């Protein structure tokens, strides 16, 4: 394989260009659980009562989240996706939950979720219908926002099906205002850019002012090819989307599918590591009632969650690629750096990568402390700019490390290396 010279993109330490939606929410990437990828539109409670979209599913998930350490790890939102409502609005024109599957109604479900110290998310659509054909909110933004607020809902995922693309901006903005007017803080999760890209390049300044996170690309599936396509899209558009992310508003590459059927353990580690580097919402879509211990340990890994939730709130990005490796880096608070090395070669065995060749390694001057988090936790001790440390990365797996400078000269070097918006350079890695 030839050596490839690749793009090095360096993000500034400055704040994101635009102001975030000012509702005080999502100061760190949202953590929780969302039903869609795993449970989809299963409404057959007669033959599949355990897995159908019903109040029982969310109550059971909330119970497990408290009992099994998920809440303690930071997972807070229990989110309903499509297929929860009745096909008809009520006599007052309000959305109503399917009476058979949600006999207690959403308000009672919210009370239950709150009694566990968790928060409830709900789903609606900016257009005529939801993607699965349930009533849309077009013409009802104020009514629906008020209904959700009256039910004490804490998050709204607002989809973009069945909507004139030219009116997406207006629709998403009006719903944002309607939520704000209720006086209840409701985290606002949008799909505005995803539906707008086919028409034009979205205005991320406006999106950041309107939404707390926003989907840019296709739905995640339970497969490595799906996760890879999301990473590829993100890297290809990082100059446009990365500057928009920061406390209060985040790019959303969709749910974590860790703990399901389609990813090997190495691939699950890759998704977890890269979602933390990308400062993505960590919304799991899996069955927490039945999840293997290794997936659970990965999803609850405190060191990875600390990277995800870093208080500086800078999104990481791909800084180099070559020889079927990709290096992704995220600047962290206290002048630290997270580095992920993804082995994209899906054949053969583990391959070595010299972490000293990562573009961000420059911050290790004259010395730094290195910790490997994935695939195994390992203190790698004090290193220098000249260090050659080979990390072993399995096919479609990721090594994740943190680098902490220990030089008094650090501030100067760090500024040199990271300041300025998107400095493009050629970089070759072995």
Query: Of 111, 128, 150, 219, which residue is the catalytic one?
Result: 219
36 binds ligand GLA (CB under 6 A): yes
CB of 157 to ligand GLA, least distance (A): 7
290 is catalytic: no
Prior bond of 203 cis (ω within 30°): no
CB closer to ligand GLA, 85 vs 375: 85
With contacts defined by CB under 6 A, name the span among 129-137, 224-232, 346-354, 359-367 that binds ligand GLA: 129-137
- The nearest distance, CB 302 to ligand GLA, in angstroms, is 28
Q: Which is nearer to ligand GLA, 132 or 282 (CB)?
A: 132
179-198: which residues touch ligand GLA (CB under 6 A)? 191
Kindly tell me which of 142 and 219 has the beta carbon lying closer to ligand GLA: 219
251 near 217, Cβ under 8 Å?
no
Minimum distance of ligand GLA from residue 191's CB (angstroms):
6
Residues 6+ apart with CB under 8 A from 72: none
Report in angstroms how near the CB of residue 193 gets to ligand GLA at its nearest: 12
Report the residue number, 81 or 310, with the smaller CB distance to ligand GLA.
81
219 binding ligand GLA? (CB under 6 A): yes
* Residue 252 bears catalytic tag: no
Binding segment for ligand GLA among 127-135, 271-279, 337-345, 353-361 (CB under 6 A)? 127-135
Contacting range for ligand GLA; rule: CB under 6 A; set: 130-138, 143-151, 341-349, 397-405? 130-138
By CB under 6 A, tell whether 159 contacts ligand GLA.
yes
How deeply is 87 buried, as exposed, middle or buried, from its count of CB atoms within 10 A (0-12, 13-18, 19+)?
exposed
What does the alpha-carbon distance between residue 376 and residue 380 come to, in Å, rounded to a whole number? Answer: 11
Block residue for tokens 């919402």 = 281
Mode of pairing for the β-strands spanning 390-393 and 378-384: unpaired
User: Based on CB atoms, which residue is closest to ligand GLA, 35 or 208?
Assistant: 35
Q: Does 81 bind ligand GLA (CB under 6 A)?
A: yes
> What is the smallest separation between the CB atom of 254 and ligand GLA, expressed in angstroms?
7
Instruction: Give the torsion through C-alpha atoms of 116, 222, 246, 421, to 10 deg.
Output: 170
List the one residue from 132, 245, 272, 341 that touches ligand GLA (CB under 6 A). Answer: 132
**Residue 82 near ligand GLA by CB under 6 A:** yes
CB closer to ligand GLA, 55 vs 125: 125
Catalytic residue among 81, 125, 154, 159: 159
Give the residue with the Cβ less far from ligand GLA, 82 or 326: 82
Q: Tell the smallest beta-carbon distance from residue 123 to ligand GLA (Å).
A: 6
Using CB under 6 A as the binding rule, the residues of this chain from 343 to 382 that contact ligand GLA are none
Binding span for ligand GLA by CB under 6 A among 20-28, 125-133, 234-242, 301-309: 125-133
Q: How far is the CB of 342 from ligand GLA (least distance, A)?
A: 24
Cα(365)–Cα(412) distance, integer angstroms: 10
Stretches 126-134, 205-213, 371-379, 399-407: which one binds ligand GLA (CB under 6 A)? 126-134
CA distance 331 to 249: 17
Which of 72, 218 has the CB closer to ligand GLA?
A: 218
Least distance to ligand GLA from the beta carbon of 388, Å?
43
Contacts of 218 (CB under 8 A, 6+ apart): 194, 226, 229, 230, 233, 254
Q: Which is nearer to ligand GLA, 246 or 259 (CB)?
A: 259
- By CB under 6 A, the count of residues binding ligand GLA is 9
Report cis status (omega within 30 of 0) of the bond before 102. no
- For ligand GLA, the binding residue among 20, 131, 187, 307 (CB under 6 A) is 131
Contacts with ligand GLA, residue ranges (CB under 6 A): 36, 81-82, 130-132, 159, 191, 219
What is the set of active-site residues? 159, 219
């Amino acid at each position: 394989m030839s050596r490839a010279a690749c793009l090095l993109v360096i993000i500034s330490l400055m704040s994101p260009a635009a102001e975030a939606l000012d509702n005080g929410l999502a100061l760190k990437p949202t953590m929780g659980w969302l039903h869609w990828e795993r449970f989809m539109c299963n409404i057959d409670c007669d033959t599949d009562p355990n897995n159908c979209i019903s109040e029982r599913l969310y109550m059971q998930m909330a119970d497990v989240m408290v009992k099994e350490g998920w809440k303690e790890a930071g997972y807070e939102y229990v989110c309903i996706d499509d297929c929860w409502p009745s096909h008809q609005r009520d006599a007052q024109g309000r959305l109503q939950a399917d009476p058979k599957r949600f006999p207690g109604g959403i308000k009672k479900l919210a009370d239950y979720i709150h009694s566990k110290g968790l928060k409830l998310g709900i789903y609606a659509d900016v257009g005529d219908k939801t993607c699965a054909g349930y009533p849309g909110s077009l013409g009802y933004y104020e009514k629906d926002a008020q209904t959700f607020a009256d039910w004490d809902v804490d998050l709204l995922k607002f989809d973009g099906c069945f909507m004139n693309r030219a009116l997406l901006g207006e629709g998403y903005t009006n719903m944002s205002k309607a939520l704000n007017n209720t006086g209840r803080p409701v985290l606002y999760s949008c799909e505005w850019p995803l539906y707008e890209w086919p028409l034009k390049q979205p205005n991320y300044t406006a999106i950041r002012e309107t939404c707390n996170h926003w989907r840019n690309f296709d739905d995640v599936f339970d497969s490595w090819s799906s996760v890879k396509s999301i990473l590829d899209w993100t890297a290809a558009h990082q100059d446009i989307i990365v500057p928009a992310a920061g406390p209060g508003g985040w790019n959303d590459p969709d749910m974590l599918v860790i703990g399901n059927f389609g990813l090997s353990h190495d691939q699950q580690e890759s998704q977890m590591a890269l979602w933390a580097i990308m400062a993505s919402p960590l919304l799991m879509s899996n069955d927490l009632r039945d999840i293997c211990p290794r997936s659970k340990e990965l999803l609850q890994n405190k060191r990875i969650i600390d990277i995800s939730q870093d208080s500086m709130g800078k999104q990481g990005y791909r800084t180099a690629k070559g020889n079927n490796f990709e290096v992704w880096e995220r600047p962290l608070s206290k002048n630290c750096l997270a580095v992920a090395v993804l082995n994209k070669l899906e054949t053969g065995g583990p391959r070595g990568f010299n972490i000293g060749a990562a573009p961000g390694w420059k911050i290790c001057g004259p010395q730094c402390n290195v910790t490997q988090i994935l695939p195994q936790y390992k203190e790698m001790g004090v290193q220098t700019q000249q260090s050659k440390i080979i990390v072993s990365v399995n096919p479609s797996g990721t090594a994740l490390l943190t680098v902490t400078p220990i030089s008094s000269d650090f501030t100067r070097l760090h500024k040199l290396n990271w300041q300025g918006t998107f400095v493009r350079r050629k970089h070759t890695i072995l």
